[in-house]
Amino acid sequence: LLIATGVASIVVAALLGWWLAGRAMMPVRHAWQRQREFIADVSHELRTPLTVVQSNLDVALADQDSSIKDNIDWLQNAYSETENMGKLINNLLFIARIDAREIKFKHSEFNLSDLLTQLVSRFEPLFRSKNLIFTAAIAPEVLMHSDEVLIRQMVSIFLDNASKYTLAGGTVSLKMGCIQNVIEISVTDSGIGIDNSEKEKIFRRFYRIDKARSRKQGGTGLGLAIAAWIASEHRGQIQVFSKLGEGSAFKVHFPNSTTFNDPQTEIKYIG
Ligand code: ADP
C-alpha cells in the first residue's frame, strides 16, 4: 500500500508539474502566435501593393514604342501605390517601436488649442479637395501636459479617417473643450458609419471593415491601433459613437494635470 501511495503521489506530482509548466508557457505561446499572425499580416499587406506596382509597370514597359506620356496613368497608379507602401512601412515601424518599448515620451506643457488650430489649417486643403465641409470648435488657451507630437499624431489619425470614410458633400468637425479638468477632443463625421459589432474590432491591428475601400483610400489598417495606444499611454479613453450610414464620432477624454486660463471654456469657431 505504501509503495502504491508513493507511486500515485509521484504520478500526481508529475502531472501537476506538467500542467503548471504548460500554464506557465501559455503567455509565451500566445506571444509567438501573435508574432506569427503579425508577420503573416505584414507580408500580405506589403505583397498587395507590390503586385499592383509590378502589374502597372509591366503594362507600361510592355509597349516599347510608346512614350512616357502614353503610359502616364499606369505610372501614376504605380506611384500612388508606392506612397501607400511608404505609409504602411512608417506605421509598421511605429508599431515595432511600441512593441519594443522604444518610444521615449517627450512630456512638456503645450497649448493644445494652438496645436489643434494648426491641424485645422493643415487638414483644410485635404477636406476641400474631397469636397467636405470642415468646421472646428476649439476652446482657447487649453494647456496640456503630455507628448505634443503623439497627441498631434492621434488627432491626425481621426481626421484622416473622417476624410477617408465620408462621402463628398459630407461634414467633418473637430471639437475640443475642457470641463472640470477633463479635456475632450472629438472628431465627428457624417460618413459611412460603423456597425455596433465592429466598434471594438476597428482598434485591432490590420482590422478593416471594408478592406478594398480602405486600400483605395490609402489606409493601412494600423491608424486606430496607434491612436488607441497613444490615448491609453496618456490615460485617455476613446469612445466611438456611430450609426451605419449616418456617421461617426471618435471622442477622447484626458484627465488634465495642468491648469488652463479660461475656466469658462468659451468655444471658438474657426472656419
Ligand atoms: P485604415 O487605415 O484602414 O483607415 P484604421 O485603423 O485607421 O485603418 O481604421 C480601421 C477601420 O475602421 C477602417 O478600415 C474603417 O473600416 C473603420 N473606420 C475608421 N474610422 C472610420 C470612420 N470615421 N468612419 C467609418 N469607418 C471608420
pTM for this prediction: 0.84
Q: Classify residue 159 by burial, with Cβ atoms within 10 Å: 0-12, 13-18, 19+.
A: buried
Q: How is residue 227 written as a grid cell? A: 491612436
The three-point CA angle 141-146-151 to 5° equals 80
Mutate to test the pocket of ligand 1, among 156, 202, 238 (most ligand atoms within 8 A of CB): 202
Quick check: helix, strand or coil at residue 14? helix
C-alpha 168, offset from chain centre? 22
Euclidean distance between the first and the last CA atom of the chain, given in angstroms as a whole number? 89
45 lines ligand 1 (CB under 6 A): no
Q: Measure 259 CA to ligand 1 centroid, in angstroms.
A: 34
Residue nearest to atom 19 of ligand 1 (CA): 161
Helix axes 72-99, 223-233, angle to 10 degrees: 30
Q: How far is the CA of 203 from the centre of ligand 1 (A)?
A: 9
Residue with cell 490609402: 218
Positions of the chain with pLDDT lower than 70, given as ranges:
257-271
The helix (run of H) or strand (run of E) holding residue 134 is strand 133-138
The SS3 call for residue 135 is strand
Enumerate residues 6+ apart whose C-beta is below 8 A from 233.
105, 150
Alpha carbons 185 and 172: distance in angstroms, whole number: 13
Q: Which of 242, 154, 247, 166 is nearest to 198 (CA)?
A: 242
Q: Atom 14 in ligand 1: which residue has the minimum CA distance?
A: 208
Grid coordinates representing 203?
Answer: 482598434
Cα(227)–Cα(242) distance, rounded to whole angstroms?
18
Task: Find out whether the beta carbon of 214 lies less than 6 Å from any atom of ligand 1.
Answer: yes
Q: Rounded to 5 degrees, what are φ and ψ at 153? A: -60, -40
Residue 194 Cβ contacting ligand 1 at under 6 Å: yes
The helix (H) or strand (E) run that includes residue 173 is strand 171-179
The pLDDT of residue 175 is 98
What is the predicted pLDDT for the residue at 258?
52
Closest CA to 205 of 25, 27, 44: 44
Ligand 1 atom with the smallest distance to the CA of 192 is: 25
